[in-house]
Chain A
């Protein structure tokens, strides 16, 4: 009986041992599988982290991750450059130490724990008035299992400046177009109301209507020239600037004689440049016509071309009314007129110098002005020489 019991016990032990070994082997296999899966997951997470880092580093926008206390957890290079920070110097510090803006800090802190992303523009302290378009994306659970938020910042200062310029430009254009239109309408209405029957008065009004219509045409023409100069690359050809200046100046001989202004040129031999001939002609026309327009009877206008070296220069100087120092920085702005009444009276559109500047700069050159009030002005255009 006892050997039967011992044999049964041995059998049971054997079965238990086999079962245990099988279980251990199966567990080991599962463990290996789990470890493998963990490694894959770890790799994936590492890969995702690298991808996220590469994405954030390659982004032109400043990206900062803040924890619930408003301390910086992560920051990309663009954000560090935005605030002029040393690499990683802001990690663990409050974000306000970079922005110095309490408003931005409050905006960031208020968004933590919220659901929806929010966006707002912030003007930073200081004279530069930098504006950051800031979007905040809150995460309920960040890397540290606590709520975090990601701030994405783009410097839109230039964009805002351009927006303001565009708005001002549209306002100026509509003002400039409205002035002659109002005048034309008023004259036409007066003619309708009976002035048509008084021939002398009617002729005067009609002359004004024609003059104002011409002004409208000049403004639209100048606007088109300006738009062309701004949007298209110049169609360059190689030509002789001296020859062109001589030709354009000849066209102004009768106008200057009528105004009692002497027109002199000092031109060297052939001076080749590679530029749009039509646009350069426009530059010379605008500068010479301005010089004659703002010089009183008995005064002088001279045009000088100089070559030699990598640049060619053309200077148009006059002994006219000159420009006050305070106006000098603004004379190239569109529709800026030093003397509004005089400029309109003489048929100016307020776009002439702006056209000159745009054309010259599109050719890689520059325009400089030197002027003394009541003594005269000198506009100098420098352009790359077209030597072969």
Chain B
């Protein structure tokens, strides 16, 4: 079934909106999983786990939407890049959602333990990750290359915070063996957040591809590969 150009434009607009909706659900999952960890809130952690199904469903729905557009409309040039990018972005968003679930599981575990509740710089790390994600998604809807750069640059801050958190947790473990179990769980959280930042960079790089037609590794090397 073929569509007119304006119908096709409308479909692409819908696709954009669905990606933003998925991004918003993922952002909330990150925020809530960290709040569950900070407050030792089992119910909030459980709700993150439950809401992950919604994110997974959106992932499948958007993928089907992209496939339908590819099959029926044979998009070209920028439109093709947009649909291809949508497929990549939802995978990155879905992974960020999965890491939020991982953090929620840690929160659930620590809530049942005697823990000292010191999260080191993890909340700052999570804030920086959410800012990167927001900037990458905003760059996507606004076709804004400046926001792409800001999102990618955020990765340096997250990496730096990751090293601080890791060193602080190692120091805490050396000082007091009692905290080893809790600190090792928190090390996992730091790792999940660091991976989330990498996915946010992927999204930003994909936006760069839609807007410029160039596939680039923007983080660190800023190298254009093709």
Contact = CB atoms under 8 A, between A and B. Distances in A.
Most buried by A among B20, B21, B133, B141: B20
B134 A96 contact: no
B117 to A, nearest CB: 17
A97 B141 contact: yes
Nearest to B131: A127
A100 interface: yes
Interface stretch (A59-67, A101-109, A272-280): A101-109
B134 A100 contact: yes
Given A94-B17, A100-B134, A127 B127 contact: yes
Contact of A100 (B127, B128, B138): B138
A100 B137 CA distance: 8
Given A94-B17, A97-B16, A127 B24 contact: no
A94 B16 CA distance: 10
A96 B133 contact: no
Interface string A100-127: 1111010000000000000000010111
Contacts of A103: 24, 28
Interface residues of A, number: 15
Contacts of A96: 17, 20-21, 24
Interface string B1-44: 00000000000010011001101110110010000000000000
B141 A102 contact: no
A387 interface: no
The dominant DSSP class at the B interface is helix
Most buried by A among B13, B28, B142: B142
A167 interface: no
Interface in B121-169: 127-128, 130-131, 133-135, 137-138, 141-142
Most buried by B among A93, A96, A100, A125: A125
Contacts, number: 53
Contacts of B20: 94, 96-97, 100, 102
B128 A101 contact: no
A93 B142 CA distance: 11
A105 B27 contact: no
A213 to B, nearest CB: 36
Most buried by B among A94, A101, A127: A127
B13 A100 contact: no
Contacts of B133: 125-126
A249 to B, nearest CB: 42
A273 B128 CA distance: 44
A96 B25 CA distance: 12
A127 B130 contact: yes
Contacts of B13: 93-94
18 contacts: A93-B13, A96-B20, A96-B21, A96-B24, A100-B23, A100-B27, A102-B24, A102-B25, A105-B24, A125-B23, A125-B27, A125-B28, A125-B134, A126-B27, A126-B131, A126-B133, A126-B134, A127-B128
List the 8 shortest-distance A-B pairs measured between CB atoms, nearest first. Answer: A126-B134, A102-B24, A127-B131, A125-B27, A127-B127, A97-B141, A94-B17, A125-B134
Interface of B: 13, 16-17, 20-21, 23-25, 27-28, 31, 127-128, 130-131, 133-135, 137-138, 141-142
Given A96-B24, A100-B27, 6 more contacts: A94-B17, A97-B142, A100-B23, A102-B24, A127-B134, A128-B131
